[in-house]
Structure 1
Amino acid sequence: MLVERNAAALTNIHAHRKIRKTAVSLALAAVLAAGGSLNPAGASAETHEAAARYAITPQPVTVDGSSAVIPVIYSEGSTYIGLRALTEHLGLAIDWDAGERAASVTGRGRTLKVYPDTGVYTLNVNRLYGELPILQDGSLYVPLRFLLERLGYGVSYDQASRTIEVETIQENPLQIVTVTTDGGHPLVDAQYPQIEGFADTAVMGKINETLKKENEARIAEGIRQLGEAEKWNSELKTDNPEIETPQSVYSASYVVTYNENGRLSLYSDYYFYGGGAHGSTVRQGYTFDLKTGELLTLQEAAGSKDYVGIINREVQKQIGDTGLYLIAPFESVEPDRDYFLTHEGLVIYFQQYEYTAYAEGMPEFIIPYASFK
């Protein structure tokens, strides 16, 4: 199936997210099939646990101001939360679907499913990509920030108290629905968002039309690229019958990153593979003013005349702090640079190969909102 080919191809694109190749799917079934129990006895759960052993750390958290301690795993810069803690402290429901081979977490009007065989997640039907869960000692651990932000929670860290702070975000009164289309081409697998249930139907229609037109144009360009790639591969195969030519693919996916305070922000990743070692992705951010339905410029989102200087200083600092290796010097963002918003701040990102090697993915730099005041 095309989705399966996309999942395999996109593994390269999301390598910078450190997708784990832990064989956990059979263990998930053993762990979750019987009423969602997360600590089954028996050898089946033990057999398919992660090859590496991780330290289980009791981590202080606050959930909307209430204190708790939860078991977490720290691995390669990510924090993984014990799945049981989601039910005990956030009231989220968990389940295992043996037919789909997927673990699900449900709450706040949405369901996030993880397919451990591929590392693919779905939020309702919106396809996402993230780190695989970790199974250890019969307990399942999932990426904390990735999961909670998709379910409408803000996640921050208080350095002084070393506490993870989780808060329920007061979201704008609208729903996100997903349009899935192949654009009339068998090698296209694209998804893009539309909004429903917003009181101002004129604004809603304006936003939906913008997203529809933008994605239809991107898909049309993807189909053109596919035609060129398939022609080139066919000629290569004719001249070299012994060569196995790869299957070309074009896909689009999206992530809603901010739905607060009268603004809606998201990004779409447009992926093309036509042969070679790996494909390429172009990311596009979209931030809308829910009063007007208009796209906000970077300056409008920042709300500061010196926004370019502020962003440059923050990006330079974060490059230095992380030791990010650059293949081209970073000097300044463009005044109309692409961006998106999150609960924590305004995010500037580098496209693939723009300043860094492919293995770095798309580095992101969060500029706290307080920086612009």
Structure 2
Amino acid sequence: MTTWKKWTSALLAAGVIMGGSTAWMDQAVQAAAVTSKVTAPAQVTLKAGGKTLTQKGLLQGGSTWVSLTAVKDVAGGTLNYDAKTKTYTVAVANNTMTVSMADGQPNVFINGFYPKFEAKLIQGRLYIPFSAMRDYMGVQGSWDAKTKTLTLSKVKQNSVKVTSVTEKATVKNAEVDIRYPQVSGLASKEAEAAINKVLKDEVDTSFAAFKKQTAEFGEATANRPYAFETSYVVTYNENGVLGLITQHYEDYAGAHGMTYRAGHTFALDTGKELTLDNVLQNSKSMRETISKKVGEQLKANSGYLSGYKGLNKDQDFYVTPAGVVVFFQLYEYTAYAEGFPEMTFAYKEILPKGTVPFSNVTSDK
């Protein structure tokens, strides 16, 4: 991995943490959280498919941690290790997670995207928080506090394949890394084509703007090149809906680069991209409630600048198994160091009691 990528990833990770973003933990497993300081991790029994796994989970740092081997065994994916690059790769549920140990400490990427969680090397074994399994690996869990047992199972996901497409492009004295998602396997080829067009057009538009900007700034130098990178992560794949985050990074050899992020929520039966109002079942009162709560959280942020007057007409958001995440761009309302401010609203908070998420926008259950 190039130096500028590692620097940017570390800064964005710090920004997300400073901005108060919190990785979600399944409610059934919240009881497994350690709320007081511990000197050593406590063991957790892991079960799946009616059997006890040979691997053990751990309680440490306020989270339940699960080894990469257990992730692969439960989710049914693949786990590989590249001794040359000191990188572990887990491919599960339309996401490919890489954990690099090249610098001696775990650095995590999913499809080139820097997620809001970290891996840990505990007692010589690599672990990720259980919340990351649910958010990105398609695994859910239930917690038995009495026996300290976490029972894991695969989530029923949509029959859609998301493939990472790499595009070759060059700009003189610029580091370019373009990858973007494309879907296949949908019953409707029209819906499939519509989704793929949105995702491809987004990358093409961003790269065209980058090339135009480099032409205006003039050529970069070999020892301080410009940079352009795109990445994505699948955040939801249930109930006939596919959710993704896409982002692109630009660096013009200035004080720091800039990252731009987009959330996409698609109904797989029609290919329609859903708005926040669609997800909220066009409830004006719920939009107003969320708008008010978002404002309160933004203004309580130490890095808040000014200007918030309510949710944008085309508000940025993405969906996860936990709920809807409203977010804002760098500098939109907060200082750069705060990263992307995010506010999560659980489905049970924003939908009528007993309502299945997205039941109003898709016929594919």
Q: Normalized against structure 2, the TM-score is what?
A: 0.74
Q: Which residue of 2 aligns with 1:16?
A: 15
1:310 aligns to 2:295 (yes or no): no
Letter matched to residue 220 of structure 1:
A
Contact kept in structure 1, 2:95 and 2:137, CA below 8 Å: yes
Which residue, out of 175, 180, 184, partners 2:161? 175
CA distance in 1, matches of 2:344, 2:142: 12
Change (3 A) 1:209 1:92: closer
Q: Please say which of residues 167-176 and 132-141 is displaced more in the overlay.
A: 132-141
1:347 equivalent among 325, 330, 343: 325
Q: Within 5 A, what are the aligned runs for 1:7-86?
A: 7-17=6-16, 55-58=40-43, 70-74=57-61, 80-83=65-68, 85-86=70-71
Alignment-derived partner of residue 203 in structure 1? 191
Is the 1:189–1:250 Cα contact (8 Å) retained in structure 2?
yes
Match of 1:24 in 2: none
C-alpha distance in 2, partners of 1:167/1:347? 24
Report the secondary structure of 2:202's partner residue.
helix
Offset from partner CA, 1:89-121 (integer Å, 9 cap, x none): 666664432134212335557653322236655
Partner residue, 1:145: 131
1:185 maps to 171
One-letter identity of the residue aligned with 1:256: V
Q: Structure 1 CA distance, aligned partners of 2:65 and 2:15?
A: 17
Which residue of the partner structure matches residue 99 of structure 1? 84
What is the distance in 2 between the residues matched to 1:155 and 1:71? 14
CA distance in 2, matches of 1:94, 1:273: 33
Where in structure 2 are the equivalents of 1:195-234 lying within 5 Å?
A: 195-231=183-219
TM-score (ref. length: structure 1): 0.72
Work out the CA distance in 1 between the residues paired with 2:305 and 2:153: 38
* Larger RCO of the pair (alpha carbons < 8 Å, separation 6+): 2
* Distance of aligned partners of 1:184 and 1:122 in 2 relative to their CA distance in 1, 3 Å threshold: same
In 2, distance between residues paired with 1:271 and 1:93?
29
Tell me the amino acid that sits aligned with residue 82 of structure 2: D
Q: Distance in 2 between matches of 1:109 and 1:285?
A: 17
Structure 2 equivalent of residue 281 of structure 1? 259
Does the Cα contact within 8 Å between 2:89 and 2:99 map onto a contact in 1? yes
Change in Cα spacing, 1:184 to 1:16, as seen in structure 2 (3 Å) is same
Whole-angstrom distance in 1 between the partners of 2:320 and 2:246: 14
Paired letter, 2:13: H
1:114 matches 2:99: yes
The alignment partner of 1:356 has SS state of: coil
For residues 97 and 206 of structure 2, the distance between their equivalents in structure 1, rounded to whole angstroms, comes to: 27
Choose 213-222 or 327-336, whichever is displaced more.
327-336
The Cα shift of 1:197 comes to 1.3
Return the letter of the residue paired with 2:202: E
What is the match of residue 360 of structure 1?
A: 338
CA distances 1:286-315 after superposition (whole Å, capped 9, x unpaired): 211222212112211221232321212442
Unaligned runs of 5+ in 2: 19-37, 353-365
Identity %: 29
Of 268, 271, 280, which residue of structure 2 is paired with 1:290?
268
Contact 1:308 1:332 in 2 (8 A): no
Closer/same/farther in 2, CA of residues 277 and 205 from structure 1, 3 Å limit: same
Per-residue CA deviation, residues 257-312 of structure 1 (Å, 9 max, x unaligned), is 11111111212111111123211111111211222212112211221232321212
Deviation at 1:331, TM superposition (A): 3.6
Q: What is the Cα-based RMSD across aligned positions, in Å? A: 3.8
